[in-house]
Each structure stands twice: as structure tokens, then as C-alpha cells.
A = this chain, B = another copy of it.
Amino acid sequence: MTAPACADPALIGVGVGPGDPSLITIKAVATLRAASVVLVPSTETSGDDAGRAEQIVLAACPEVSDRLRRVPFSMAERTGVGPVRQRAWEASARAAEDAFAAGAHTIAFATVGDPSVYSTFSYLAAHVRAAVPGVRVEVVPGITAMQALAAASLTPLVEGRESLTLVPATAGLDAVDAALAHSDTVVAYKGGRELAALLEVIARRGRHGVLGVNIGLVGESITPLSEVDAATAPYFSTVLVAPVRDAAGGRL
């Protein structure tokens, strides 16, 4: 079902959750089903965060497979800077603009996790808004890897008056260390490449936690930080450092 043609064209960033197709929301499924075109980030290497969006969409809404279009995306483009980084949004924006020009009314852009959390959707949307006058932009939130890891490991992220800081390991070890100094709970994304140094910073603060990989997917692993082999952890891993809590409020 596509939306009535009288309404404004719409570009909708759809969070499809962390990996387990059942962790997608009812609204995300309805939005994907109603879209004229579903854009999914795509890379040539398999098994990473990009191909994962397509896998989730196809598992949760197999009926949209004929409206699915891959747009180029690479990790280097996502995390790089300058012209290299810009190419990724521009390619996505071009794909959306081409689809609008070809008559698409509603375009959904599927992102792993939540479009508001470390996604490129806002860049893509800004480009499309500049090129397609009157386009309506929406975001459908999704469950993040942080939440999936907290649930799977039965580690509350925050309780009572605790604070939580979310920081990408790519921001540097000093940023992670500052977060450990100022927050009760710290979650670091994409720790893979710097994991050995990251674990050292956490241990130096006397803090404990878990490392999550592929939560809710084949190959899921949840490992106490003290037992992690930093050499083998993949790039898309999540480190959750929780406060020390008593028995009643502690890890279940």
C-alpha cells in the first residue's frame, strides 16, 4: 500500500533495530510496507553493519523485496572525514532523488539501530531537502545495540539517579576516560580496532562490564571485559561499563 498521491512526498528514516528482526517496531514495519521504495545501505563485504539493515528488512517484511534498492555505503565513508565521507550521503541522496523523480511518493531509508543514533540519515535528509522542494522528512526510532546488549546481559543501563554516557571509541581514549570519570554507566561503540587500549583505560579506572557482539544474531557473544580477547573482537562491538551495584539493584 502506498500513501495517497495528493500528500507531499516523504523521506522516512526507519530504525530497524540491532539485528534480531523481532526487535523492529510495529511502526517501522508499517512504514516499510507503505513505502514506494525502500533504500538499504549496501557494501561489497558481507556480515557487517551495512548488509545487516537489508537482512533485517527482508526478515521482518519479506513483501518489500521488490521495492528494495541498495545504495552504496562503506565503513570508510561513514567514519571518514571530508570528501570521502560526503560521497556516502551523496550517493544515498542521489538514489532518493532519482526515485522521487521516477514517481516514488514515499521513500524509506532503513538504518540499523536508530536513525537518531550515529546514523547518516540527517545528512542524507538535508541533501534531499535541498534537492526536492516540499519533501516531508520523518524518523521512526529503533532499538539500539546498547539496549539489546543491556537486555541480553541483564545489565540495567541506568537506575535511580545514575547517569549514562554513550561515546564512540573513534572519539579517542581520552573521551572514553572522561566519560568513565563523569558517568555512572559508559557505553562505547565500535571499540574493535582500539579494544586492547580501551580495556586498559577501563581497568585502570577499576571498572567492570561486558562486551557484546552480534546481539540477537547468529554468533552472539557476551563476554565479561576481564575475559575478552582484544585481538579477535570485531569492529562493530559494544562495550558496556556499568556502575557497581548492590544485590537488589545489581546485575541479575
Cβ of A91 under 8 Å from chain B: no
Instruction: Identify A165's interface contact among B127, B155, B164, CB under 8 A.
Output: B164
Place the interface of chain A in its size category. 35 or more
Whether A122 sits at the interface, judged by CB under 8 Å, is yes
User: In the assembled complex, which residues on chain B have CB atoms less than 8 Å from the CB atom of A150?
Assistant: 114, 116, 139, 141
A171 cross-chain contacts in B, Cβ below 8 A: 161-163
Q: How far is the CA of A116 from the CA of B155 in the complex (A)?
A: 7
Number of copies: 2
Residues of B within 8 A of A167 (CB): 163-164
Q: Considering residues A127, A148, A154, which has the most beta carbons from chain B within 10 angstroms of its beta carbon? A: A154
5 contacts between A and B (CB under 8 A): A22-B26, A126-B247, A162-B168, A178-B182, A182-B182
A residues touching B (Cβ–Cβ < 8 Å)? 17, 20-27, 29-30, 60, 89, 114-123, 125-127, 129, 137-144, 147-148, 150-152, 154-168, 170-172, 175, 178-179, 182-183, 247-250, 252
